[in-house]
């Protein structure tokens, strides 16, 4: 099997699995307990928080662990709405993940007004287009850092600085789920107030993520109960998951340059192996992150191609994992202005450190053969 769907989820790295194991069995203390069992679990949480903080350029106290990217996004949007002091306008982009877009739909039912910025003709979100939509009653601007379907990098820091220059009270959230393993992040330098992360896109386990809340931000907790996570997210922590998340980002931090070089090599090898096949166009921009390559195969339906690839042992997808099970065309490719036909004939391949160049080349050759056969 050749797994080229790493933007949907990555394999847990063996070092991560090893780090987690004690906390799934013998180290079962509740981090809120004050006895030795509890203190051991609390120390593990502190270590993981420090590992993530050092990787993303934040203070450990600014990070709250969640059950994943979706929960972090939800908490960022809802928590800032609750603290908005009556301001009810939110600005986001048409390229966002459904975790943002559907949370915005829910906020609308509570009286929030949401403005969606569409990309320009080149598929990019322009800083000035976001700034133009920001008003004195805007409480939040939410812009993802890396698009999960095309790998496009959005100018989050420029947007954050520019919108705050226009309306100093506005806060900025960024969905950085796909950026965590692909872009060097420095949150203190970034001018964003909130950022969302997920463990399972960076060789960590599923069901764990984190929300960055910049010191001094306007934000209210959404989940109430115990005093965990400095009263920002009640509920006994997923200790093993958090330990795994910490170990995963620590590994990436240590091997960053080699990791990125490897992923670039994979993407380039895959694209090279597709050359010579007519009617193949890259939907991913040239400066997209290297882990994601979205490709249009003219005249070939993506659902048919994906099924044939699966039968041939190659796993890819036609966009985000959340919509792949449905027949809905990708809202991201639609927003980029591609005609319906192109949207329905496009596939996302995404790479990880577990792939080898030989394997991705083989994956591309299999794809090429199936495309040729389907066209005949
Ligand atoms: N945001 C983006 C850009 C994603 O790719 C994903 C994962 O599919 C999410 C949010 C949701 O993260 P999680 O699966 O951890 O809830």
Tell which one of 67, 71, 99, 322 to mutate to probe ligand 1, the residue whose CB is within 8 A of the most ligand atoms: 99
Assess whether 50 and 106 both reside in one domain.
yes
The pLDDT of residue 52 is above 80: yes
Q: Measuring from each residue's beta carbon to the nearest atom of ligand 1, which residues come in under 6 Å?
A: 68-70, 97, 99, 144, 148, 175, 177-178, 198, 200, 209, 320-321
Q: Residue 153 gets which letter from DSSP?
A: B
The pLDDT of residue 67 is above 70: yes
Tell which one of 69, 71, 173 to mutate to probe ligand 1, the residue whose CB is within 8 A of the most ligand atoms: 69
**CA separation for the pair 368, 363 (Å, rounded):** 9
Question: What mean pLDDT is reported for the chain?
Answer: 96
Of 198, 230, 254, the one marking the end of a domain is 254
Percent of all residues in the chain with a pLDDT value above 90, rounded to a whole number = 96
Q: Residue 121 gets which letter from DSSP?
A: T
What's the half-sphere exposure (Cβ side, CA atoms, 13 Å) at 16? 25
Task: Identify whether the C-beta of residue 354 lies closer than 8 Å to the C-beta of residue 288.
Answer: no
Helix (H, G, I), strand (E, B) or coil at 2: strand
283-314 pLDDT, tens digit each: 999 999 999 999 999 999 999 999 999 999 99
Assess whether 143 and 291 both reside in one domain.
no
Spell out where 208-321 has E strands. Answer: 209-213, 280-282, 292-297, 314-315
Mean of pLDDT values over 127-140: 98
Cα of 148 to ligand 1 centre, how many Å?
8
Assess whether 244 and 262 both reside in one domain.
no
The pLDDT of residue 320 is above 90: no
Assess whether 229 and 356 both reside in one domain.
no
Q: CATH number for the domain including 113?
A: 3.40.640.10
Assess whether 241 and 289 both reside in one domain.
no
Assess whether 172 and 244 both reside in one domain.
yes
Q: For residue 321, which atom of ligand 1 is closest to its CA?
A: 8
Helix (H, G, I), strand (E, B) or coil at 320: coil
Residue with tokens 């090898």: 269
| Reported confidence tier of residue 323, pLDDT bands at 50, 70, 90 | low
Domain that holds residue 264: 2-10+256-375
Domains: count for the chain: 2
Assess whether 250 and 278 both reside in one domain.
no
Residue 322, number of CB atoms within 10 A of its CB:
15
The pLDDT of residue 326 is above 80: no
Assess whether 243 and 264 both reside in one domain.
no
Q: CATH number for the domain including 365?
A: 3.90.1150.10
- List the residue whose alpha carbon is closest to atom 5 of ligand 1: 148
Task: Identify whether the C-beta of residue 137 lies closer than 8 Å to the C-beta of residue 166.
Answer: no
Assess whether 318 and 368 both reside in one domain.
yes
Mean of pLDDT values over 54-65: 98
Of 209, 228, 254, the one marking the end of a domain is 254
Cα of 131 to ligand 1 centre, how many Å?
26
**CA separation for the pair 278, 330 (Å, rounded):** 23
| Reported confidence tier of residue 322, pLDDT bands at 50, 70, 90 | low
Residue with tokens 């050359």: 275
| Reported confidence tier of residue 121, pLDDT bands at 50, 70, 90 | confident
The pLDDT of residue 224 is above 70: yes
The pLDDT of residue 324 is above 60: no
CA 148 to chain centre: 6
Of 254, 280, 310, the one marking the end of a domain is 254
According to DSSP, the β-strands at 113-117 and 138-142 are unpaired
Task: Identify whether the C-beta of residue 141 lies closer than 8 Å to the C-beta of residue 160.
Answer: yes
Assess whether 279 and 209 both reside in one domain.
no
Assess whether 65 and 78 both reside in one domain.
yes
Q: What is the pLDDT of residue 321?
A: 59
Q: What is the pLDDT of residue 328?
A: 80
74-94 pLDDT, tens digit each: 999 999 999 999 999 999 999
Assess whether 46 and 154 both reside in one domain.
yes
CA 354 to chain centre: 19
The pLDDT of residue 209 is above 60: yes
Mean of pLDDT values over 240-253: 98
Q: What is the pLDDT of residue 325?
A: 57
Mean of pLDDT values over 307-332: 83
């Amino acid at each position: 099997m050749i797994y080229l769907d790493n933007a949907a989820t990555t394999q847990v790295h063996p070092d991560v699995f090893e780090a987690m194991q004690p906390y799934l069995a013998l180290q079962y203390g509740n981090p809120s307990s004050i006895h030795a069992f509890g203190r051991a679990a609390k120390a593990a949480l502190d270590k993981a928080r420090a590992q993530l903080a050092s990787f993303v350029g934040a203070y450990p106290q600014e990070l709250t662990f969640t059950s994943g990217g979706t929960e972090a996004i939800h908490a960022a949007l809802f928590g800032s709405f609750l603290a908005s002091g009556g301001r009810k306008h939110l600005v986001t982009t048409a390229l966002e993940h459904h975790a943002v877009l559907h949370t915005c739909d829910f906020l609308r039912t509570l009286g929030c007004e949401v403005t969606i910025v569409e990309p320009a003709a080149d598929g990019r979100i322009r800083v000035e287009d976001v700034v133009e939509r920001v008003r004195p009653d805007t409480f939040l601007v939410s812009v993802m850092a890396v698009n999960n379907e095309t790998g496009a990098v959005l100018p989050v820091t420029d947007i954050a600085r520019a919108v705050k220059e226009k309306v100093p009270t506005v806060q900025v959230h960024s969905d950085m789920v796909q950026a965590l393993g692909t872009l060097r992040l420095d949150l203190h330098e970034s001018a964003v107030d909130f950022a969302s992360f997920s463990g399972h896109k960076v060789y960590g386990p599923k069901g764990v993520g984190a929300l960055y809340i910049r010191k001094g931000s306007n934000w209210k907790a959404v989940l109430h109960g115990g005093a965990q996570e400095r009263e920002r997210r009640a509920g006994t922590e997923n200790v093993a998951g958090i330990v795994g998340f910490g170990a995963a980002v620590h590994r990436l931090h240590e091997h960053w340059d080699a990791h990125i070089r490897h992923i670039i090599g994979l993407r380039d090898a895959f694209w090279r192996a597709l050359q010579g096949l007519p009617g193949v166009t890259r939907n991913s921009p040239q400066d997209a992150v290297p882990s994601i390559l979205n490709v249009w195969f003219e005249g070939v339906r993506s659902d048919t191609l994906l099924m044939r690839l699966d039968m041939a042992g190659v796993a890819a997808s036609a966009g985000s994992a959340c919509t792949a099970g449905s027949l809905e065309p990708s809202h991201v490719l639609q927003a980029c202005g591609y005609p319906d036909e192109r949207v329905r004939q496009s596939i996302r391949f995404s790479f990880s450190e577990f792939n080898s160049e030989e394997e991705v080349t083989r994956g591309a050759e299999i794809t090429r053969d199936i495309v040729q056969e389907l066209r005949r």
